[in-house]
Amino acid sequence: MEYDLGLVLCAVVVVFISSVWSALVYLTWRPYAITIAFRKQGVGGPAYKFWSGSNEEIKSMQREAMQLVLDNHCHDITLRVQPQYRKWISEYEMVKQVLANKFGFYPKPDVPSAIFSLLGKGLVLVEGSEWARHRRVINPAFTMDKLKVSLLQHFHRIDEDDGSWIRPGCLGSSW
């Protein structure tokens, strides 16, 4: 009986230590790693605090930023449009590997139900064998020869068009 109790105690200690380790990684290392990644990209912000984090400072900064009115002629809108952390890939081979996703290492993010009902289970949202089937059906349409023909047809159609379908109001004149 003592042998079994020691084994159970050892298992409990291992589970406890692994859960404490994962909590420490989640609470300390991960926020600092994200902070370091942001700083390398030139994005600053408030320092991370262990117990409280930096949520209050971030919320106050977001409130201040949302009260500002953007200039219509300014194209510096990255912080307003995309304030989330992303890891960008710029190597060609890595991009091919991520887009191929043969082994399921890079799953697509879950889509909210509103977007799913809008798009349906189409080409954008399918994965695995469904994606392979859709790709086989669509791939012949995007060969270089067919794209060249399609592009030439579009150019000829634009040349033939006299522009009468454009409302006069579109170009700045009044109704």
DSSP state string for the chain: -HHHHHHHHHHHHHHHHHHHHHHHIIIIIHHHHHHHHHHHHT---PPP-TTTTTHHHHHHHHHHHHHSPPPTT----HHHH--S-------HHHHHHHHH-TTSSSPPPPPPHHHHHHH-SSTTT--THHHHHHHHHHGGGG-HHHHHHHHHHHHHHHHH--STTS-GGGGT---
The reported pTM is: 0.33
Residue 83 corresponds to which tokens in the numbers above? 């304030």
Note whether 116 and 125 are within 8 A (CB): yes
Q: Which of 67, 91, 96 is nearest to 80 (CA)?
A: 67
pLDDT tens track for 89-131: 778 887 777 777 777 777 777 888 888 888 888 777 888 788 8
pLDDT at site 80: 61
The Cα 21–Cα 16 span in angstroms is 9
CA angle 73, 75, 78 (to 5 degrees): 145
pLDDT at site 19: 95
Lowest mean pLDDT among 25-29, 83-87, 169-173: 169-173
Position 23: which residue type?
Answer: A
